[in-house]
Amino acid sequence: MAYKIASRALNVFQVNIFLYLDAVHIPKSGQNPSQFKNTGRLFQELADRGAVVRACARCAAARGYQAEEEGSCPDYLQGIKITSLYDLAEMLEKSDRVIAL
């Protein structure tokens, strides 16, 4: 559902997505689900189209993902970075609409 909303919104708005708690597993590279779509690839597509996709640093670290220089993570798909909750606050401050799923 989040992908569909964000994909349509990108046609009109700047879209920011913040991955929190277990959602930080979504952009893990190398996943190949057999019975449903690869959500990580869908989110990577959103990033390629201009969406800002970020993952919570504390949530990611607690689940074994470590940010490198400028928030990139060797375990993540390209275009998705690990960042702090301060960036979430900035995203919210600059947004005129917010959807939480």
Tell me the pLDDT tens digit for each residue of 21-62. Answer: 999 999 999 999 999 999 999 999 999 999 999 999 999 999
Q: Is residue 88 part of a domain?
A: yes
- pLDDT score recorded for residue 53: 97
Q: Is residue 16 part of a domain?
A: yes
How many independent structural domains does the chain possess? 1
Domain range for residue 69?
2-94
pLDDT tens-place string over residues 57-80? 999 999 999 999 899 999 999 999
How many Å separate Cα 31 from the centre of its chain? 15
Q: Is residue 23 part of a domain?
A: yes
